[in-house]
């Protein structure tokens, strides 16, 4: 069977629009967790460190990804975080027990330093407030510190700390995973809904221009899902712009076919949250449609066992350092396809996380930095997936796996960039043995020509990248071709592909 063709079809038409893609769908996340900050983005002793201690080699890789927004400072960490610990003179900042990850937080990096880093990375900041151990007061004070121009206690405190102009951070998360029993200050849906609504009202008085994200379920397996969404939105619907979704996937049973189908679970998760939001919209007779912020997503399971051996209360321990495989990159490609196909409602999304902690970028503290396997589908989709998402009509053969039925071998998304007169197809061939031959009817793109076909492929689904040896990297020798005004896409077995056409 190896090397044989399995055939499928696609119809792509520029009239079949899903939505304009919000660039923030390609966001990421930096939490004070493990070596994400210390030894990751911040490493003052590093040869490439700038005057603030930020690693330039890491910044270069982040800029390559064109990450538009980065969520900060957590994550679970934010639910017991006092933002005041991380501002002002560094020598006066307290060292704290960080309860979420049993680490010691030095507070060498805080709100202002991270804002500076994000500016260097050409990214906006998505700031989370502590609704675990704190609430309305701390949230409104932090917002005043960040966004108010001056003449008040907290805005003048920012100025005293060397920042005369406000940061103007526009996107704010009302806590993190408050449905989770593991969360410091875990709340019931009623408790969280009331607190989030009142916090949102106060924050909007301080700055009416901000966008707010209400906590949705920590994952779709939570026993309270989707009742949590319905109950909390009863309180927050009129005051917030987004509800959050979080989901991580793993291949614990070493079943590649089943693992590659897990983006179908993500698709179902998104559809369920949309349905729940629209139920509350109807119930409230509201004209507003709730948008989704999928602000934590990735593959996460490789590091689970080694994380149990970490010494408690150490500074920047090597936590959640998943080393990603080739098959992980394929699922990441499919997850990005899923987000694009829901771009009418998913307006923000954050790959969690960005450096060292379940991340596309890895570093040695004081040493080199490298691209993990998952870097590549993220890079190409972020750079070339800008414009309008198109709904293609697909006929693909299917398979059944342990947890899924009718899984299409062809997983795809299509982006039309009208300004650049460019059509981009992102496609994953989930078939473990056979190539996929895809007839693509590009009826309304008759004068478009094939520019490149980038392929990520490897015979070993478990192949990984290290600092000194990159086993998984893309090539541009894809075998797609034009024939009678249609595109014939040849997708190697078990591969991620980007096919780009231009007028």
Catalytic residues: 177, 296
- 284 sits in the region (left: phi over 0; alpha: psi -120 to 50; else beta) called alpha
Best CA proximity match to 452, nearest among 474, 433, 477, 428: 477
φ, ψ for residue 216, nearest 5 deg: -90, -160
8 Å CB contact between 200 and 236 = yes
Sign of CA dihedral 304, 309, 315, 318: negative
Measured between alpha carbons, how far is 50 from 58 in angstroms, rounded to an integer?
11
Structure tokens at 53: 């201690």
> What is the DSSP secondary-structure string of 417-474?
ETTTTEEEEEEEE--SS-EEEEEEE-TT-TT-EEEEEEEEE-S-TT-BB-SS-B----
CA distance 404 to 8: 20
Q: What is the CA angle 34-37-43, rounded to 5?
A: 115
Cα four-point dihedral sign 365, 367, 368, 373:
negative
Q: Which helix (H) or strand (E) holds 143?
A: helix 136-147
Q: Give the count of beta carbons closer than 10 Å to the beta carbon of residue 159.
A: 15
């Amino acid at each position: 069977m190896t090397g044989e063709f399995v055939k499928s079809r696609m119809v792509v038409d520029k009239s079949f629009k899903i939505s304009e893609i919000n660039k923030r769908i390609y966001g990421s996340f930096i939490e004070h967790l493990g070596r994400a900050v210390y030894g990751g983005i911040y490493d003052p002793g590093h040869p490439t460190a700038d005057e603030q201690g930020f690693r330039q080699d890491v910044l270069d890789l982040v800029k390559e990804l064109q990450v538009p927004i980065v969520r900060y400072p957590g994550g679970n960490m934010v639910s017991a975080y006092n933002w005041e610990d991380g501002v002002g003179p560094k020598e006066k900042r307290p060292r704290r027990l960080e309860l979420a990850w049993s680490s010691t937080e030095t507070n060498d990096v805080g709100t202002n330093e991270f804002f500076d880093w994000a500016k260097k990375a050409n990214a906006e900041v998505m700031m989370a407030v502590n609704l675990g151990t704190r609430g309305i007061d701390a949230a409104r004070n932090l917002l005043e510190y960040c966004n108010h121009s001056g003449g008040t206690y907290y805005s003048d405190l920012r100025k005293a700390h060397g920042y005369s102009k406000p940061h103007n951070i526009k996107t704010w998360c009302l806590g993190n995973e408050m449905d989770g029993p593991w969360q410091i200050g875990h709340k019931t849906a009623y408790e969280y809904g009331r607190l989030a609504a009142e916090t949102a009202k106060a924050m909007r008085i301080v700055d009416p221009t901000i966008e707010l994200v209400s906590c949705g379920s920590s994952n779709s397996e939570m026993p309270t899902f989707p009742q949590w969404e319905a109950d909390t939105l009863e309180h927050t619907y009129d005051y917030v712009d987004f509800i959050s979704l979080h989901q991580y996937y793993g291949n614990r049973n070493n079943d590649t076919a089943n693992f590659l189908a897990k983006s179908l679970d993500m698709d179902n998760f998104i559809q369920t949250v949309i349905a729940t939001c629209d139920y509350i919209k109807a119930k409230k007779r509201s004209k507003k449609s709730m948008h989704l912020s999928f602000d934590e997503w990735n593959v996460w399971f490789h590091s689970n066992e080694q994380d149990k051996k970490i010494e408690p209360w150490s500074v920047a321990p090597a936590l959640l350092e998943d080393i990603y495989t080739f098959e992980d990159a394929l699922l990441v490609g499919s997850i990005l396809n899923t987000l694009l196909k829901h771009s009418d409602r998913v307006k923000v999304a954050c790959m969690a996380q960005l450096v060292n902690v379940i991340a596309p970028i890895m570093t040695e503290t004081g040493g080199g930095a490298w691209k993990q396997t998952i870097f590549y589908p993220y890079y190409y989709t972020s750079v070339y997936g800008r414009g309008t998402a198109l709904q293609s009509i697909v006929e693909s053969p299917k398979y059944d796996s342990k947890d899924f039925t009718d899984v299409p071998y062809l997983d795809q998304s299509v982006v039309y960039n009208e300004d650049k007169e460019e059509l981009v197809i992102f496609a994953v061939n989930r078939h473990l043995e056979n190539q996929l031959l895809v007839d693509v009817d590009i009826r309304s793109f008759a004068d478009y020509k094939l520019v490149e076909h980038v392929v990520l492929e490897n015979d070993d689904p478990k192949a990984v990248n290290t600092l000194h040896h990159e086993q998984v990297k893309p090539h541009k020798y894809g075998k797609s071709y034009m024939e009678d005004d249609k595109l014939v896409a040849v997708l190697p077995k078990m591969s991620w592909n980007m096919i780009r056409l231009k007028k």
